[in-house]
A and B are shown apart, each in its own frame.
Chain A
Amino acid sequence: MDWNNILTNVAGEFFAPTTAAYALAAIGLNIHFGLTGLINMGQAGFMLLGAYGFAISTIAGWPLWAAMLVAVACAAVFGLILGIPTLKLRGDYLAIVTIAAAEIVRLIGRSTALTELTGASSGLRGNDYKHTFQDSSPFGDGNFQLGPFDYSMSASNSWWVRIVGWTVVGLACLLVWLLIRSPWGRVLKGIREDEDAVRSLGKNVYSYKMQALILGGCIGALAGILYVLPRAVQPDSMGRPMTFFVWTILLLGGAATVFGPVLGSIIFWASLMLIKSVMRAGVPDSIMRTEQIEQFGWIVVGVTLMLLIIFRPQGILGDKKELAIDVR
């Protein structure tokens, strides 16, 4: 077993763009669930919309900043549409509606009727929309090697994506930290703990919930852009499992904390990589084929999610007293 290679792969996951994208998505979900107590089961829908918004407007020739604005605007409108019917209803309705809405986005995105716009189920090719982001890189072409990690400077799965991705994650953490300490954040936490009490203080609970839903969704859209920058927009890879991974990450790191989502994402992807690499190297093909190892990894994720929410719903960093999942 080549431990050197395995450990390099695992360490590479610590700062991979995917890890950053999932951390960012979990930060968005943290605003929904950790701060406000909204059970959003459609975070992948926000991400997919962000990815489509960014990629389609870039393909249409829009500059980088405009494309990003389109992505965020898509998510904001989506959040508004989702929130109007559901935010007044009980928590599990929001869960069902968000999961259904995310599916609608994916089903429409992969429909052959929109092939010219979305590329149907095969999606949009990465090289069609990456150029504006790559051109904004100050590093130019070529590769750069840091220790065992050798990535290109600007193209595709590059140092540039990593730097931008983690900077955005850092800024989002800062935002959440400021929000938690702000009066606005305290109202959100009040809604999470006891909605009626907040209402009796004269706060418009519905409006606060809507703001939280939209803000978290917009962060989700940015995460969607970050997720598709090193690959392609493929609707089927951004379906329900993606939402569930984001939830696992959030609950693993700790909801209602600032660094929980980041820690959760790093641990999630690194341990998944560790499990899969060790099994690929150590388990003979006759016992488990390569694709079965992949599936085994996802089974482990599902079981982890179950065990986490039962035995340690506050995650690694969270405080159990702070997180009252079942208030509403």
Chain B
Amino acid sequence: MIDLFTLGFLQRALVAGILVSLLCGVLSTFVVLRRMAFIGVGISHSAFGGVALGFLLGVDPLWTGIGFALMVALLIEYAQTRTTVEEDTAIGIFFAASMALGLVFLHLSRAYNVDVFGFLFGNILAIGAQQLWQILVVTVGVLAVILAFFKELVFLSFDEEMAWVSGVPVKALRYLFLVIMALVVIVTIYLVGIILVSALLVIPGAIAQNLARQLKTMVWVSTGVAVGSAVGGLMLSYAIDFPSGATIVLVLAVLYLLTSGLRPWLHHR
């Protein structure tokens, strides 16, 4: 196995980019099929509150970020299932409140020296060995869970009621999926930043839906597109000296537009 501690910052960036985009690609299929794009936006933006809290308390923003993202994810789920609040209203309220809290925390911490910009827009070159380990652990854990419950996740995405009646642990899996999303969002922040995370959760799946007619193909295409865009975007950004996160997202957006244009031909054979 490669010794993660001896890698140079460029190699670390590349390995991190591959792992994170691999995760996003797999997850993106479900985000698109379950129409959870806006939840992705909500969870990722709410992580800002947690990251800022980390600065204020002087702890690793990863943990406070995960805490906040999880809390908001579960609040959204709770509001949606237990109250009469509409899901998108709940998301709109919770993520805005969480970002506002983040600004207050930053103000209180007077941490002008921290890389807020890096958290907002990603700074993959700043990934150290510790972050790489965190990413690796999340990647292995999340992929194992998705693989273990793949069949049930598909069923529940397709038809939640029938899945429930057939004995699928729907509620547990819904919460598990939110936990997974929160974890993936946090590690993806390293790659593209809080503002752009949702792009990686949505666009690969959307591209794959344009191209694939079978679910398994869709997962593979989504993953391939995500990894390809991350690696390609990183190299492109290095070559033309663009911000890396933004370049990755722009590559994805262009691919989405291209495949959307191709869709009518692909699907009328």
Does B associate with A? no
Residues of B within 8 A of A (CB): none
Residues of A within 8 A of B (CB): none
